[in-house]
Amino acid sequence: MLDQELLRPSLKEGGVKATKSYDLDKLIYVGFFGGILPVLALGTVNAVWLRADKKRTMLLLTAGLTVLAGRFAAIVATGEEGAVFVHSRLAGIVMAFAYRFALKKRYRLHTVLQGEHKSMAKAGLVGVVAGFVAEAVLIRLGEGIHHVTHTG
């Protein structure tokens, strides 16, 4: 005789929440054009949308912010902006790959179940512009701090 528990539906109405996601391959373009800041923002938003592991998401965000803080500290220490924008773009691309790797399983599941992606065009463009401006401000701030502490 079959157990009646096996025949009962296991999903309650409203129990399955839809996920949404950007196309994670496009995050690399954001890293290339915008640097690390927009990748951190869009990658973290995407991780929340996909309901990814919070510890892994916070680890990625912390790693990215640590790289950013290290770059800022280097500017304050040396006063040289040098190849800061190039380093930011490289760090952005590396972080985009890290988010892509960390979200791969959740992203595949989303693609199979939902099958569609949100457009990253508007958010990516805003992120690139905002990241460019924020990095320029951080560079100038770091140079200013260096100038004040070393000419003093």
Write the DSSP assignment of 92-125 as a string of letters.
Answer: HHHHHHHHHHHTHHHHHHHHHHT---B--HHHHH
User: Among 40, 14, 17, 30, which residue's Cα sits nearest to residue 124?
Assistant: 30
Contact 60, 99 (CB under 8 A): yes
Q: What percent of the chain has pLDDT over 70?
A: 89
- pLDDT of 11 > 70? The answer is no
Sign, CA dihedral 42-34-29-86, equals negative
pLDDT digits (tens, 9 = 90+) for 109-136: 998 887 788 999 999 999 999 999 999 8
User: Model pTM?
Assistant: 0.83
* Residue 66 CA from chain centroid, whole number: 13
Two structure tokens written together for 64? 């990215």
Contact 43, 99 (CB under 8 A): yes
Q: Residue 2: its pLDDT value, please?
A: 56
Two structure tokens written together for 113? 């179940």
Q: Residue 100: its pLDDT value, please?
A: 95
Contact 100, 24 (CB under 8 A): yes
